[in-house]
Amino acid sequence: MLERIKESLLGADEIGFEIQERPGRLRVGLLCSPLSLIFEQTPGGDVFTSLYCSASRIFSGDRTDLHDVYSLLAASVFRHTGAFSAMLIDIEHPATMIPGELSGRYLVPEQGAGYLLPPDDEGLDSAEELFGHLALFERLAHRTTTLWHPQQSSPMHDGYDPTRQTDQIWARGVAEQLQTEASEEDLFFQRDSTGWLYYRTHDGAVAVVESVEIAHFLKAVRVDPSEELAGINGFLYTGKHFHHYISREILHIADRVLGLDGVLVGSSSPAVNATIIPLEDSVVLSSGNRAVLLRHESGVSGFSRERSLVLERNRIEQERLFPPSEFTWSEEIDGGRFERLIYDLLECEPGVREVRAIGASRERDGGRDIVASWVTPPTAGAAVVEGEAAARERRVIIQCKARKRSVGRSDLGGGILDTLFMYKAEGYFLAASSQPAVATIDLLDEISQRGDYFTGWWGRAEIEQRLRRNPQVLRRYVDIVQPVP
């Protein structure tokens, strides 16, 4: 399989890519780039794929910040383009005793392309697609940043300077923001060639970079707020066919580090307030000139756990707010028959003294009005004179709408107040075979608050409640609604 992949990439050298080969392994990349594509043969015949991030070929000295920043930039772009969502696997430095120092990092595709390619044509196609994504990324990095290929420098001239105070002051500020996450063993760095300040906790749980260019780059590949869904303990992300999760605990840390003072954790949509890029085992967040990488179970497992909580909440809400219907309704409901059904239910309704139809049917959904003498309570906020009864009989106009969709304000025809004036009525009631739209309910509330008018409505659920209480009515309208066997 590796030989077939090598043959398919023979033209890569023409655009500057080099193919390095050793037994059971191919490495493809630009000599001037820290990123290369790795193909490794497995004992089972599949091919393990990953991206290898190492600045050793283009930079000398301590390169922990380069490995950290370059890998999070690359992973963010690959997610944005829909190539894959990656795990960031640290490669510890073999020659130092400094905790947290990186010798490099692997980007292992998890969602999307996946890290195992089968030894067939499908696997070969996937290998070629991965190379295409790498080539696309290299072009993007060259055109949009000045920091992807820093000039080679000596660590003496481009790195930590114990006499320089600016990076130490900045690092102390980050440590104060991290609070319990910070440690004396944390790394901090000011790199002149890229123009950034960098801080990394000794356990690798948090990395912070201060850079206008980095923040600008990440903003271009952030998740769209439309991908974001509020969960129970955090937020779910479903864009690019990937599933991710960010907890409010992580947002709380990001708020401190980014100086947002609780904006993210208190928001109904954090992606509106900051750059957010969830990966498989970490999350990138950015605001202003600062970006932070936080280790977090943000991939499929975190998403699945949070989704289970949401499903359980939805189950409880469904049981309490939308119990299983005991009725089936006809797909096509005759307006006249539906109006007669409401007429019969009104005659059974407590407080209704008299019911009669007025006018002629004007529309396909009935359109004829019903008027009822109805004993109703006071409207919300109304006062009652001492000695008078709280409830009184009103002349109420009832309009019936047989619709599949929700009944909107425009479905009510002329103005409701005009209808009340025309019939000298003191109340308006809507009966819908579906459900009044939110805007319609708001309108009815508004009318009741304008004066001493009674308003109300029945939707399908309210009608079904009355059919349970009045089975004799239900038996007359089996062409509209029937009990579930």
- In degrees and rounded to multiples of 5, residue 274 shows phi and psi of -160, 165
Facing residues of 25 across strands? 22, 40
| pTM beyond 0.75, yes or no | no
Give the pLDDT score at 164.
67
Which one, of 295, 304, 235, 302, lies nearest residue 87 by Cα? 295
- Indicate the average pLDDT of the chain: 87
Of residues 410 and 329, more confidently modeled: 329
Convert 44-79 to b/e letters by CB count within 10 Å (16 or more is b). eebbebbbbbbbeebbebbbbbbbbbbbbbbbbbbb
Task: Give pLDDT tens digits for 192-206.
Answer: 888 899 999 988 899
Task: Give pLDDT tens digits for 330-371.
Answer: 999 999 999 999 999 999 999 998 999 986 554 444 455 899
Give the pLDDT band (50/70/90) at residue 95.
Answer: low
Task: Give pLDDT tens digits for 375-415.
Answer: 988 766 566 666 666 788 999 999 999 988 999 988 887 67
Whether residue 106 contacts residue 50, with contact meaning beta carbons closer than 8 Å, is answered with yes
Of residues 180 and 47, more confidently modeled: 47
Task: Give pLDDT tens digits for 243-276.
Answer: 999 999 999 999 999 999 999 999 999 999 999 9
Give the pLDDT band (50/70/90) at residue 150.
Answer: low
- Write down the CATH number for the domain with range 327-380+390-483: 3.40.1350.10
Of residues 385 and 373, more confidently modeled: 373
Q: Which two tokens stand for residue 11?
A: 């033209």
Task: Give mean pLDDT, residues 81-98.
Answer: 83
Give the pLDDT band (50/70/90) at residue 183.
Answer: confident
Mean pLDDT lowest among 10-14, 169-173, 246-250: 10-14
Give the pLDDT band (50/70/90) at residue 8.
Answer: confident
Q: How far apart are the first and last CA of the chain?
A: 60
Of residues 386 and 301, more confidently modeled: 301
Greatest mean pLDDT among 59-68, 80-89, 356-365: 80-89
Give CB contacts under 8 A, 24+ apart, made by 64-67.
64/93, 64/100, 64/101, 64/102, 64/187, 64/189, 64/200, 65/189, 65/191, 65/196, 65/198, 65/200, 65/209, 66/34, 66/150, 66/191, 66/194, 67/34, 67/91, 67/102, 67/103, 67/104, 67/105
Which residue ranges make up each domain of the chain? 2-144, 166-306, 327-380+390-483
